[in-house]
Homo-oligomer: A and B are copies of this chain.
Amino acid sequence: MSFRRGRSTVFTENPVSVTSFSAVGGKKEGEGPYASCFDYLDSDGYFGQKSFELAESAMQGLALQNALEKRGIEPKDISVILGGDLLDQCIGTSFGIKDFEIPFLGIYGACSTVSEGLAIASVLADSGAADIAAVITSSHFCTAERQYRFPLEYGGQRTPTSQWTATASGALTVERRDAPPYIRAVCFGSVVDKGVTDANNMGAAMAPAAYATLSGFFKDTSMRPDDFDAIVTGDLANAGSRLLTDLAGRDGLDISKKHLDCGRMIYDQNTQDVHAGGSGCGCAASMLAGYFLPEIREGRLKNILFAATGALLSPTSSQQGMSIPGISHLVWISNEKGD
């Protein structure tokens, strides 16, 4: 049983815990400041496969397998897995998880996928619809670049606001269990479209969605930024992060001392030439699975809001001159159990 509060926040009733987490990444992620947070780093991004698309699927399978092994369970113990990715028709996930024979709910939230999946999984576990729910997502620089932008061989010049799609995957398991990290509440985001049309500035397109979800959560719960150790967004990167803190500040909500963004964290911006930062479903997912969840489990962080952010564009919508709708789903993750 869950209970709703306000427009879009849902509190868990039982202790719902993220019981296992795994992060897998590529070469560039292994050269970044959080390299030690990954369970496996592939040296060439092929993950032993013959195409980058198959590599992305293999990466998901690896992350999921790691998460199961850490929890000491088999695929048959998972009631349902929620997952998706950036590839057309989400083939990264369909092919990545098919051999596990786990009931599968495909989701699409662009780079917000990990928090969308974690939010739904938490409700399914809380309600008893799932004993153990799993969440999986990924992104791959080479599959995303050639699908969304240019052939890999083209070598086009990138704009200052452009971001680098992380080659990474994160897998989680969620269940009722009295052990941190706990999912205390989730907040489903609405689509927000402020008319941004620059597909090389997705941070600007997503920041208003992140702000809408965060402010909705604070309104629904009467909580404040000071109640949290960190307010984490997915991949707003440099430009989007400034926009988010500005938007919040205008409404008298000072998140500047609490805000962290996975897209700004995953690479060393001084040495790794990623322009505005990282992006992709795997960016937020691997930072959550590899860094934030362990920190919360160990008590080094007590309470965080984790709001991954997605840009709901496609090459077709951009070519037709449409704006970029954004979305952000939020989960409150805590070292402490709810009342």
Contact = CB atoms under 8 A, between A and B. Distances in A.
Interface of A: 1-4, 7-8, 10, 51, 53-54, 76, 79-80, 84, 86-91, 94-95, 97-98, 101-110, 116, 120, 123-124, 126-131, 147, 188-193, 312-317, 320, 322, 325, 327, 329
A106 B110 CA distance: 9
A98 to B, nearest CB: 4
A161 B2 CA distance: 46
Contacts of A54: 320
B320 A53 contact: yes
A105 B116 contact: yes
Identical copies of this chain, number: 2
A325 B102 CA distance: 13
A54 B316 CA distance: 11
A87 B89 CA distance: 8
A113 to B, nearest CB: 9
A234 to B, nearest CB: 15
Contacts of A327: 94, 104, 106
Contact of A105 (B90, B110, B120, B315): B120
A105 B130 CA distance: 18
Contact of A316 (B87, B106, B131): B87
A322 B325 CA distance: 32
B317 A103 contact: no
Given A8-B80, A130-B4, A98 B193 contact: yes
The 7 closest A-B pairs by CB, nearest first: A127-B127, A103-B188, A89-B314, A94-B312, A98-B191, A106-B108, A8-B103
A128 B313 CA distance: 32
A109 B110 contact: no
Given A88-B315, A89-B88, A123-B127, A189 B4 contact: no
Nearest to A94: B312
A89 B313 contact: yes
Question: Which of A84, A102, A189, A312 has most B Cβ within 10 Å?
Answer: A312
Nearest to A86: B89
Given A88-B316, A316-B87, A325-B95, A1 B1 contact: yes
A102 B176 CA distance: 28
A116 B103 CA distance: 11
B126 A127 contact: yes
A89 B86 CA distance: 7
Contacts of A116: 105-106
A202 to B, nearest CB: 12
Contact of A103 (B106, B147, B190, B322): B190
Contact of A106 (B4, B80, B107, B130): B107
